[in-house]
Homo-oligomer: A and B are copies of this chain.
Amino acid sequence: MSTVRKPIKKTSIQKKDKIIDQGFALMCEKGFHNVSSIDIAKYAGVSTGCIYQYFKDKKAIFIEGAKRHLKNICFPMVDAFIKFASQDISLEEVVSLVLKESVKTQRLSCNAHQELLSMCCLDEEIAQIFSQNELEATAKIDEQLRLKKINLSHSKEKIHLFIHIVDDYSHEMIYHQHPEYDYEVMYEETCKLLVQLLKGEEK
């Protein structure tokens, strides 16, 4: 009846991208369960039907968004270690860089991270992606440390601890903001701990 058809350009890829980016952003802002497929369609500027041409269901959009997001989350950390291996900087400096970059990245998409954690807990498929992502990051960091001739016993497990401490740190920095904590101190203590963790048995 009141059908008005918008003049269309955009390639399929651009459209799919828009749905992922806008859709994921919206789901992160409001929560997966609080956003309907109609909301996503409107926000992405497409019709509801169009969504289902590119995605099997609502969750599929979230998963695609999550994959892209997790890539971005890990890059800065891995990059810092690449720098560490290739340039003449100290472990202290790397750790400091990692913490700062991690907070910066998460601040850019703080809701995304929350929603991801949330979905990760509830949905096996998303948990898998999360887990896979950690393994990849672990492997890359491990590789850089070896290049730098740091011989860590139990490197994988230590890097796991490292990643999670960094994650907790940036999470704390962005959300909780407990007035009881001195965040300058928190930064220093976290640094110290992470450096100890990776120093290796060099003596």
A contacts, CB < 8 Å to B:
31, 33, 114-115, 117-119, 121-122, 127, 131, 134-135, 138, 154, 156-158, 160-161, 164-165, 168, 172, 175-176, 178, 180-182, 185-186, 188-190, 193, 196-197
* Residue of A181, A190, A196 ringed by the most chain B CB atoms within 10 A: A181
How many subunits of this chain does the assembly comprise? 4
CB of B122 within 8 A of CB of A154, answer: no
Measured CA separation A188–B121 after assembly (Å): 26
Say whether, besides A117-B118, A122-B118, A156 and B131 are in contact (CB < 8 Å). no
Q: Of the candidates B33, B121, B158, B189, which one forms a contact with A33 in the assembled complex, judged by CB atoms under 8 Å apart?
A: B33
CB of A135 within 8 A of CB of B185, answer: no
Query: How near does chain B come to A77, taking the closest CB pair, in angstroms?
Result: 16
CB of B196 within 8 A of CB of A131, answer: no
CB of B165 within 8 A of CB of A135, answer: no
5 residue pairs bridging A and B, Cβ less than 8 Å apart = A33-B33, A117-B118, A117-B121, A135-B178, A196-B196
